[in-house]
Amino acid sequence: MSSLLNIGLTGLNASQAYLNTTSHNIANAATPGYHRQSVTQQARDPQFFGGAFFGTGTQITGVKRAYSELLETQVLGADNRRAEYAAYNRFISQVDNVLADSDTGLTPALNEFFGALQSVSSNPTNVAARQALISSGETLVARFQTLDARIGEIAQGVETDMASTMVSINGYAGAIAELNQRIAVSQATGVGNAANDLLDQRDQAIAELNKLVKVNAVPQRDGSLSIFIGSGQALVLGNNAKQLSMGDTLDENGRPMVMISGPNGTQTPLAESLISGGALGGLLAVRRDGMETAQRSLGLIAATLATAFNEQHRLGIDLDGELGQAFFRLGQARVEPADSGVDVQIDPSALAALTGSDYEIRNDAGNYSITDIGTGETRPLAVDGSGNASFAGLNFSGLGGVGAGERVFVYPTRYAAAGIGIAVNDPRDVAAAAPALASVAGTNTGSLQVQSLLFTDAGDRVPGSVLGLPDLRYRFDGGTNQLVLDPAVAGWTASLAYSPATDAGGKVFQVSGPGGLTLELKLSGVPAANDAITLADNADGIADNRNAALLGALQTDKLMFGAGSADRPTATLNNAYAQLVARIGSKTREVQAGERTQDSLLAQATAARDSVSGVNLDEEAANLVRFQQTYQAAGRVMSVAQRLFDEMLAIGR
């Protein structure tokens, strides 16, 4: 009778275990990260009696989780990418909205400015039109500054979000380290079996951490998990967790660096290449590829506009007959360290060679090199004995102060949009007129014509001064096929070779004078002997609009994107801005599509995982009924054993 009673008791205990586990599943059906648990049991060892083996009941061997490492990995991977795209999209879409807006973007302000310039060209003596040009210029520079400031605000929001994300990462890392210790203790006291609920809690903490940064978990012998983030940086080892933070140190791009500190509190910089995936990876990527790209491109447009416009404006004369001054004000390029003594200037003659890149210049024992920080491409830099060098539309000076083994970081155009301003305040200072006139003599008998006369270089003339061009009379000598300066003027080009047979369709000459003063003269036609042209000062030509027309042509001139060459510009100012808007817009669409794709993949992976490890309430309800019946049946066995035992006692009495 005792064996029957014991068998019933083991069945009762097993049913109780099943009922407890089923109830636990039902209670945690909505608990994040919970995995369905099930009881494992086996028959107890039989006893040999009366020539046969008789069973002795059942025993519980454990409670296991419904866990598939493959499915969990798929969920983590999809969720990690989704979180990365979501973080990227949250900020790149803001930049896209700022740049592409038809009212607040740069294009309307550019068009308004050049429209005002057209009004000056149509009526160069109208002071009101000149004032409107200055006002439109102020609107344009304000638009540059506003766009740059807005991008800066978004970038600051990225860094604020990064700091908040790191706080969350640190919290999850600490929780995982603590759970590692608790699981190791439970495994030691549970004969190698860790508590399933602790494992669920740790897996859930890892899943939440994985949303913030890419995670790789490596199991250890004691049941703990070592957590590595990104490309292999250790974050949690056993019960020790490291901490991430935003440091005060700036990297080569001028950005606050990510710092990691161990248990001793020592902080060391963490390369961004070691961090990928999750919200933090997305934030780092959008800061690098979105904010900085937009800021550099906008600065490049501002620097190109200001430099090209100023150069042409200096080649005109204002209402007082004086050479034009700079119309736009452009701040100095940023150099780090600021006390390096290195100066950077844009070369107006190589404007199309500008790339908008940031550079690192290094002196390795007298061998200078320059590295594009964005692409990592390094090239030798030829530095002369005075410490000067030229590269990609930039003129460097003071490089001799960069000691051996030292380096400087140069940001030529990144902050140009923030520093641009208007340098002209008086409408009379708008240099709309050309400083020189060309005319053919009334006594000419041939068909010699002046196609154009451009002032291309003021040489050592100081802006704001009168040009003072002397009258230059060139007479055609049919015997030598030359236009000869007659009378000769000291320092000026003495003759111009012109063959009527080959040059009648048009020929361009460079006429130069003292101090580097240069005029570009284009002639056509067939001159007769002694036909003459005269070049003269245009100091009284206040109604002249030729320089205003040349300034207006800058709107449609290709000035930018010469692929490092000054001779192959491929884009106008509007084209360059349109490319920036298209690039940011394309990236925004790409990220949004990626986020939608990952949402779908995550839903599929989650459904596959939940089909294995999720709690099905209908199934659990059925189990409750089933295990209730087994419990009642086991109790019935014990009741029968008790009745049989009572019958035997009654017989004995």
First-to-last C-alpha distance (Å) of the chain? 18
- The residue among 521, 537, 553 that closes a domain is 537
Question: Residue 97 has what pLDDT?
Answer: 92
* DSSP state for residue 62 in the 8-state scheme: E
* DSSP state for residue 617 in the 8-state scheme: H
In a domain, 506, yes or no: yes
CA torsion, ordered 632, 634, 635, 639, to nearest 10 deg? 130
**How far apart are the C-alpha atoms of 545 and 462, rounded to whole Å?**
22
- The residue among 502, 537, 572 that closes a domain is 537
Q: Which helix (H) or strand (E) holds 41?
A: strand 37-43
Tokens of 322: 């004086």
Q: Which helix (H) or strand (E) holds 219?
A: strand 215-219
Per-residue model confidence as pLDDT tens digits over 601-610? 999 999 999 9
Do 342 and 397 touch, CB atoms closer than 8 A? yes
In a domain, 127, yes or no: no
In a domain, 20, yes or no: yes
> What is the bridge-based pairing of β-strands 532-537 and 518-524?
unpaired
Burial class of residue 5, CB neighbours in 10 A (0-12, 13-18, 19+):
middle
Per-residue model confidence as pLDDT tens digits over 515-564? 889 999 999 999 999 999 999 988 778 789 999 999 999 999 999 988 76
* Least trusted range by pLDDT, from 30-34, 68-72, 526-530, 563-567: 563-567
DSSP 128-191: HHHHHHHHHHHHHHHHHHHHHHHHHHHHHHHHHHHHHHHHHHHHHHHHHHHHHHHHHHHHHHTT
In a domain, 467, yes or no: yes
In a domain, 488, yes or no: yes
In a domain, 212, yes or no: no
Tokens of 259: 């710092």
Q: Decide if pLDDT at 481 tops 90.
A: yes
What is the domain range of residue 515? 436-537
Q: 620 with 531, same domain?
A: no
**How far apart are the C-alpha atoms of 254 and 248, rounded to whole Å?**
11
Q: Decide if pLDDT at 642 tops 80.
A: no
Per-residue model confidence as pLDDT tens digits over 362-414? 999 889 999 998 888 999 999 998 999 999 999 999 998 888 888 999 999 99
Per-residue model confidence as pLDDT tens digits over 234-247? 999 988 999 999 88
- The residue among 505, 521, 537 that closes a domain is 537
Nearest to 421 by CA among 515, 326, 490, 532: 326
Q: For the whole model, what pTM was predicted?
A: 0.86
Q: How many domains does the chain have?
A: 2
**How far apart are the C-alpha atoms of 583 and 578, rounded to whole Å?**
8
1 confidence band (pLDDT: 50, 70, 90): low
In a domain, 155, yes or no: no
Do 376 and 407 touch, CB atoms closer than 8 A? no
In a domain, 376, yes or no: no
**How far apart are the C-alpha atoms of 597 and 586, rounded to whole Å?**
16
194 confidence band (pLDDT: 50, 70, 90): low
| Sign, Cα dihedral of 191, 197, 200, 205 | negative
The residue ranking higher by pLDDT, 109 or 568, is: 109
Q: Decide if pLDDT at 3 tops 80.
A: no
